[in-house]
Amino acid sequence: MKPQKLIEDNKRFTKARRALLEVLKNRHLTFKEIYEELSKKGYKNMSTLYNNLQFFLNNNLIIEINLDGTKYYDLGTDNPFHDHDSHLHIVLKNHNESSPVIKEVDYPEIYDAIKSHPVFKHYDIDYIRILVSATKNKK
């Protein structure tokens, strides 16, 4: 669901919610990182952030990525690489850095191959989310 649709459906689309979506634009952030970014903008209420994240998760505007026990958040709409129902992320781990780099990949043929695989012929697939963990080749 797009933010405009939420407004049209008379759901509250507050300044704090707009700020949260802006902070996440083209980024994958943890709760703590989102809180720090929003605090710089004057939004310091942790409960409001938690509630807004839940609201957006429930309305499919944000995707939650669990990477080795750490949750990252990503926009599930208005993203050039994917929509809520199709996600392919590559997590690049570098032992010299503390945080992994999460990249988005857009190859619809991967989703088509999965959907058309015989193992899924008796199912209606709701969504496909793929998380690939990798390290750079030493070549």
CATH number for position 107: 1.10.10.10
Instruction: Confirm whether 34 is domain-assigned.
Output: yes
- Mean pLDDT per block of 10 residues along the chain (139 residues) reads 55 84 90 96 94 90 87 76 66 76 83 91 87 81
State the Cα–Cα distance between residues 67 and 91, nearest whole angstrom. 9
Quote the number of domains for the chain: 1
pLDDT value, residue 126: 83
- Closest CA relative to residue 79, chosen from 87, 68, 71: 87
Asked if the structure places residue 65 within a domain, the reply is yes
- How, if at all, do strands 86-92 and 101-104 pair? antiparallel
Cα separation, 54 vs 34, whole angstroms:
14
Could you list the residue range(s) of the whole structural domain that residue 95 is in?
3-134
Q: Checking DSSP bridges between strand 29-30 and strand 70-75, what pairing results, if any?
A: antiparallel
pTM: 0.75
Q: What is the pLDDT of residue 36?
A: 96
In a domain, 91, yes or no: yes
CA distances from 81 to 58, 87, 104, 109 (A): 21, 8, 6, 13
Give the three-class secondary structure for 97.
coil
Neighbour order of strands in the sheet with 101-104: 101-104, 86-92, 128-134
Whether 83 maps to a domain, the answer reads yes
Determine contact, residues 28/99, Cβ cutoff 8 Å.
no
Does the residue 139 lie in any domain? Answer: no
pLDDT for the residue numbered 34: 96
